[in-house]
């Protein structure tokens, strides 16, 4: 019975540790992983405004938006603002440039796939973030 109790306690501790690690958002320390260089040449992905994308964008269309990430809405959802308006963008933590701070004053280009919803909020699933020099 003592062994069963010990095994049960150990299983509980391991499960709790795994849950705690999962809740921290993952490892953010040093890494030997070097991200692939971003392509900087010409592209057929159109540059649009938030207003144009929401009005005329097609589901699964790739687009680029230029503006600022103005707030974090929770999870992977952020509010993106340009001169025309606002749109919710989904950004995975791995998409943010390593070693770069992005705040509401940072000018960025976001390239991603538009998720047009018939009911509810349409969003841009960001695949690349590029900092824009002022």
Question: 3-state DSSP call for residue 54?
Answer: helix
pLDDT tens per residue, range 17-70: 444 444 444 434 334 444 555 566 667 888 999 999 999 999 999 999 999 999
pLDDT tens per residue, range 84-127: 999 999 999 999 999 889 999 999 999 999 999 999 999 999 99
| Interstrand relation of 85-90 and 62-74 (parallel, antiparallel or unpaired) | unpaired
Per the CB < 8 A criterion, the answer to whether 86 and 76 are in contact is no
Domains parsed from the chain with CATH numbers: 47-131 (2.40.50.200)
């Amino acid at each position: 019975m003592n062994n069963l109790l010990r095994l049960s306690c150990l299983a509980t501790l391991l499960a709790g540790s795994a849950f705690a690690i999962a809740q921290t958002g993952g490892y953010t320390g040093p890494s030997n992983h070097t991200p692939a260089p971003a392509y900087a040449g010409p592209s057929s992905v159109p540059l649009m405004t938030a207003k144009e994308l929401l009005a005329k964008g097609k589901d699964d269309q790739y687009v680029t938006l230029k503006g600022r990430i103005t707030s974090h809405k929770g999870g992977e959802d952020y509010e993106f603002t340009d001169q025309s308006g606002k749109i919710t963008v989904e950004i995975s933590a791995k998409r943010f440039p390593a070693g770069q701070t992005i705040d509401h004053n940072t000018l960025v280009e976001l390239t991603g796939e538009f998720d047009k919803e018939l009911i509810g909020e349409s969003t841009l699933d960001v695949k690349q973030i590029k900092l824009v020099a002022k």
